[in-house]
């Protein structure tokens, strides 16, 4: 097992660095990364203190610093210490600059400003939390997206992930005989997406849920015949209504959410626009 000290130096919160480091590390096996977070580094004095700490635990430095003097000092001192440095956003910013034909605005933390998009995310999260698991069905017409599926088909975590991306979501558990399901059939504005899953995977997830609740494994909730009927009912409903369907059996929450966003964008794309 290799041990890597990974220093994440940012002039903002460091969230971007953390996400990119996680994505990069996922490509390597047998590596234990010890992450050191150094956020809000906006002065040379602060940087010097950080570099003294880095010198005690040398490793790879990933950074997002837009301040010219601070950035130059980091690169100079890192070179003097023989430490590798990577400016993770440079290729993206340079590519955008070439395509757009303009220079980037060097403003620390610009992606975290409380602009209209920020408040849309807050509104989306508030809406989504209030409309989880079939709640407040009378308000579903205000949603951007409504997820439907049998119990334990990843509706809630997918909804929350989408809300963090700025989409107002509601989700509805499909239970045979539940009159609330009728609310789905009259929706006009929201994109309704059906989530399905293999019976084997669903039973395993439900068994884990029952164990966590201290209930016995012979509960009808995990009866194979009952589960098969639930899934058949859901698939029939999706097909009858012409709703797009995503099989979440082998998908992570992020992958499911990405597929939902693609469906939403395709529906919202103006007619005649070729991507």
Architecture of domain 116-268: 3-Layer(aba) Sandwich (3.40)
153 is in an annotated binding site: yes
- H/E stretch holding 191 reads strand 191-196
Is this model's pTM higher than 0.85 or not?
Answer: no
- In this prediction, residue 264 carries a pLDDT of 94
Contacts of the segment 83-91: beta carbons below 8 A, 24+ positions apart = 83/54, 83/58, 83/59, 84/60, 85/60, 85/61, 86/60, 86/61, 86/62, 87/63, 88/16, 88/17, 88/20, 88/62, 88/63, 88/64, 89/16, 89/64
CB 56 within 8 A of CB 127: no
Say whether 177 counts as a known binding-site residue.
no
CATH placement of domain 2-111: 3.40.50.2300
Residue 151 is labelled as binding a ligand: yes
- Say whether 227 counts as a known binding-site residue: no
Is 197 labelled a binding residue? no
pLDDT of residue 274: 41
Domain boundaries, the chain: 2-111, 116-268
Specify the pLDDT at position 106: 58
Known binding residue 149? Answer is yes
Question: Tokens 């626009």 map to which residue?
Answer: 273
pLDDT beneath 70: ranges in the chain: 1, 67, 104-116, 118, 217-218, 270-275
Predicted pLDDT of residue 64: 87
The verdict on whether residue 256 carries a ligand-binding annotation is no
């Amino acid at each position: 097992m290799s041990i890597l000290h990974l220093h994440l130096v940012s002039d903002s919160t460091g969230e971007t660095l953390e996400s990119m480091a996680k994505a990069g590390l996922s490509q390597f096996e047998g590596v234990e990364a010890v992450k050191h977070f150094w956020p809000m580094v906006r002065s040379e004095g602060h940087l010097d203190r950080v570099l003294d700490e880095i010198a005690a635990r040398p490793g790879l430095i990933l950074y997002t610093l837009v301040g010219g003097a601070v950035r130059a000092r980091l690169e100079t001192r890192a070179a003097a210490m023989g430490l590798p440095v990577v400016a993770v956003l440079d290729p993206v910013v340079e590519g955008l600059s070439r395509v757009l034909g303009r220079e980037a605005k060097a403003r620390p933390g610009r992606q975290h400003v409380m602009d209209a998009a920020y408040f849309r995310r807050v509104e989306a999260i508030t809406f989504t939390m209030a409309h989880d698991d079939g709640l407040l069905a009378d308000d579903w017409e205000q949603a951007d997206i409504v997820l439907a599926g049998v119990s334990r088909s990843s509706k809630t975590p997918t909804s929350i992930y989408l809300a963090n991306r700025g989409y107002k979501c509601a989700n509805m558990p499909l239970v045979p005989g539940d009159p609330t399901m009728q609310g789905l059939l009259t929706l006009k504005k929201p994109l309704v997406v059906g989530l399905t899953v293999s019976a084997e995977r669903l039973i395993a997830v439900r068994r884990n849920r029952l164990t966590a609740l201290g209930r016995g494994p012979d509960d009808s909730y995990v009866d194979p015949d009952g589960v098969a009927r639930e899934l058949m009912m859901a698939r029939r409903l999706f097909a009858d209504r012409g709703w797009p369907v995503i099989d979440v059996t082998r998908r992570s929450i992020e992958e499911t959410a990405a597929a939902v966003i693609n469906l939403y964008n395709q529906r919202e794309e103006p007619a005649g626009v070729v991507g």
